[in-house]
Amino acid sequence: MIDAPSASLEEAFHNSAERHERAWIFVAVVLLSLLLIGTMFFVVLDYGVVVGTAGFRRDPADLGANAGARLVQTGPHAYSVHMIGHLWTWTPSPLHLPQGATVTFLVTSADVFHGFEVQGTTINVTAVPGVTGSVTYTFDHPGSYNIICNEFCGIEHQAMIGRIIVDPATPS
């Protein structure tokens, strides 16, 4: 049997323990809430609020085999080209450019994710079906540059190689 003083001591201990447990649960919930709010703040700060817009989306079925895949001169020494990744090739390829050309690559995919990388440059864009990514680069040195797919895209991924040929500038 438990005598009365020890029973009240045990009851007081349990009441005190319950208060401490509630306090720690409250502290944990507040800290987790602050962590979640802080994480969301820094994600929005770093990446912005990402919303879907129709401005950069495109239906991959509209791309066809060579739709829009050509080099277009947009100014003196400035060009634009739509690069389309297909299983397992880049369109257009080979691409001939004059030395000193500044090219804006508009990169997309007609089927799966591809990685558009031009070796020997800083060009590296992920080609996503239905989304057009862009990167601009100036080819100051003549030569041949390989376009490779650096995102595994299927069984012939290693053979997905295109080419950019930069022709030497002619003296004027």
In this model, does residue 69 exceed pLDDT 80? no
| 142 prior amide bond cis, ω within 30 | no
Q: For residue 72, give the 3-state DSSP assignment.
A: strand
66 — pLDDT class (breaks 50, 70, 90): very low
- Please name the residues in contact with 105: beta carbons below 8 A apart, sequence gap of 6 or more: 81, 83, 116, 123, 125, 134, 135, 136, 137
In this model, does residue 119 exceed pLDDT 60? yes
16 — pLDDT class (breaks 50, 70, 90): confident
pLDDT tens-digit series, residues 28-58: 999 999 999 988 888 777 766 655 544 445 5
d(CA 131, CA 109) in angstroms, rounded, equals 8
In this model, does residue 96 exceed pLDDT 60? yes
The CA dihedral of 113, 114, 115, 117, to the nearest 10 degrees, is -160
With 0.75 as the threshold, say if the pTM is over it: no
Confirm if 88 and 154 have CB atoms less than 8 A apart: yes
Confirm if 98 and 166 have CB atoms less than 8 A apart: yes
Map tokens 């030497």 to a residue.
168
Average the pLDDT over 128-153 and give the result: 92
